[in-house]
Chain A
Amino acid sequence: MQAIQLQWIDYTILIAYVAFVIGIGWTLARYMKTSADFLTSARSIPTWVTGLAFISANLGALELVGMAASGAKYGISTAHFYWVGAIPAMIFLAVFMMPFYYGSKARSVPEYLKMRFDERVRALNSVAFAVMTIFASGISMNALAKLLHALLGWDYNFALFVSSGVVLLYVLKGGLTSAIYTEVLQFFMIVLGFAPVVYLGLKDVGGWHTMTTSLQTVATNPAAIYLKDAGTTYAPNAWTSAWQPVLAGPAHNPMGVDWFAMIFGLGFVLSFGYWCTNFLVVQRAMAAKNMTAARNTPLVAAVPKMFFPFLVIVPGMIAAALTTLPDKGYRIPPPVISQANYDKAIADVKNANSADAIKTISDDLGSKVDAGKITSLVAANAATKLTDTQIQQGLYNSVAENDYDGVILSLVKKYCPAGLLGLALTALLASFMSGMAGNVTAFNTVFTYDIYQAYFAKGKSDAHYMWMGKVITVVGILLSIGAAYFASMYNNCMDIIQLVFGFVNAPLFATFLLGMFWKRTTATGAFLGLFGGIGSSALFHALTIAQGNAPGIKGGYLKVMSTFPSEMAQNFWLAAFAFIACFTLTLVISLATSRTKSDADLKGLVYSLTPKIVDNNAPIYQRPAVVGVVLLIVCIILNLIFW
């Protein structure tokens, strides 16, 4: 993809946005009097703000780019990550779990674990979360800096330091409140920045009906646009129906996932494990001004979350549909190929006169090529001398591989004139900043309260903890930058680190579920059960593999006992296995060990020992159970519409 030249209006929009987010941080700085103000917003923020921040903190640049990529690769089935993999868990968090998080007066999720179990469980969770957050932030920063380099020609270091510097400025000034308030602004920027791209894409492809018709062509021969290997074919509705291909079995849907893995692995274990226990999002609800606001926060967030597939997944479907329409002059972008490699291939097209020209050109480009298209290009050049630009365009269209992460930006480039281009790029930057600010504010709270105060500096003054909160904010940003460089240099190491975090996260929800809903769960049971779950994850991974992968980092390095149709299926089953192992171990060990906390100690921390919240006096639209049921019904309707 050639670098885009921005005009003055694009830079003006970008600068205006940056000025406003820094201005918010500056305005809020005067209210930061205590460590609670800085790290927890002193529980003062209204529902609609925490609700939109809840969703915005989760909406990082990787999601915008990744969901469009998945939309092209898998079609509407990608919406399962929302309608199965998010909404039910958000409703469960609001109705059943927020009363414990908020009512216990815990300042963080690890602190809740300390109150419910003991220091061992808190230490395991807080250290794992802090390290994971830094690496997640680094991975996101690396991806963004690479994107800005490829798209705008910006220097990698410049992109990295400027974008993280802006986040540092407003978080350091206004703490969590600043992050939450700017996340609301970023939410609107993301929606209003990408909505016109979706509209123009749908208009270009000929409307929803034409798009689905084109995607039926894709499903019956995905190899035609390099989505799958030659010979792969699916039912015509594989890209346009969310459930029928999944229910037909893993061989009949592009995700390669079966219904049990989808519902139990994604819809229960991974989804509830993320939305109900990850402090990054739960922190937003814990900053709400009262219990009702805290419980309604995930429900407010669930409304836009339910409709986000139309903003982030549909562009990928548009890209796949456009690629099948020759008159549109569009293809899903191929991997980035340097101009030097194109120049070599152009020379070989001009000089091609042997049967191995295709292999030579493929080697020049460093990618697989479509033999038929290369043969046609060589013949066309022999008949009428083509210009270098025409040959390069022909080569671009002949690369038989796709760079799915380039989908959303290729549409931005195709449809956005100067002005709207600046808005869309600002939306991309906003999504990155909201994700990074979420990571940084969660990290500084967990580090200050759950690591520094708990183990290194007990009993210090509040001013000291506020000072440490600010210091660790700077350190967190610097560590994230370091992690970004690490990710750019050691891609394989990063894969291993992410894999280990996957092992740690998979069993986590079992610990919370038993801890919150079974008073007999002991601290020893929780601690050893969690370790057992992590070990089970690692063992499952070592004994299984996905089709097409060699034993190694992708699994099966001890012995291949089971082969899954896709990596996604392997991940979903791994999560299910780890959850069951952790749940069973925690239950058995708890029964074998004695309780260290009395019923009185667990009041407000366990469901059966906590007085139920009565919402009868609240207006019906503010009752979490009622709103939750309504949202669940809407979610089911969406699933039925795209059945």
Chain B
Amino acid sequence: MTLLMQEVLGGLVLGSIYSLVAMGLTLVYGVMEIPNFAHGHLYMLGAYITWFLLVSAHFGYWPATLAAAVVLSGIGALLEWVVFRPLRNAPQVHAMIASVGVMLFLEALAQWLWGPDFQRMPTPYGRVLNAGPFTVSEQQLVVIAAAIVCMSLLYLFLKHTPLGMAIEAVAQNRTGARLVGIRTHRISLITFGLSAALASIAASLIAPIHLIFPAMGTMVIMKAFAIIVIGGMGSIPGAIAGGYILALAESIGGAYVSTNYQDVIAFALLALILFLRPSGLFTKGV
């Protein structure tokens, strides 16, 4: 029972991160219809920038997290402007290939700037709390709470601000949104920035628990793709639910079946769901 509880806790922590990353991915997909293969590498870059600000510039943990998110939103917006906007009317495959190019570039860039070694991020929440046989680190609680705060803020932003509603409108129908005077290019730019910022926050949150290395985004992005396909591409509630479902399946499956095949679970689940329901489990709608 303790083992199960411990695995559920681990699953919730991982699920918080998966959900944040998948939300950004699905947001960009909903608005621009681009599966951004570089999204995981924006996550990686967020982790490195946070780490750099903490260790070399002596920022506090939260200022570093926020500053990294701001930097990443700038990088995301730049990518939309330079790479993806010119490909808007090209065949779908072209934007996907361009995002693969961005991904390869970012990984090499991180390796060049910071080397291939693993880095550990310091955290002010390093203590471990014990409750009987049950152990939990402060950072794990911080991850879960911060993810909930981010999701709530994103919900309020999308549902109750004019800008957020404009994003939703573009996701629902780009041409229609243009017709009523929404500047779709600007919305794409903002969406890309927002999505990169979400990835960066997720990375800053989990980095003190996991390690930082140039390829850290690869597995995360594939998991995030699995999640948004499971949740229905473009659906934010789907991304949140999918993130927690996948993480819980992984950590519980890893504990009771085999840690060796933990990563296979995600993709087997994805293949199964696509086989049964090619359009995803949840219906579309941001």
Partners in one complex: no
Q: Which residues of A contact B (CB under 8 A)?
A: none
Please report B residues at the A interface, Cβ cutoff 8 Å: none
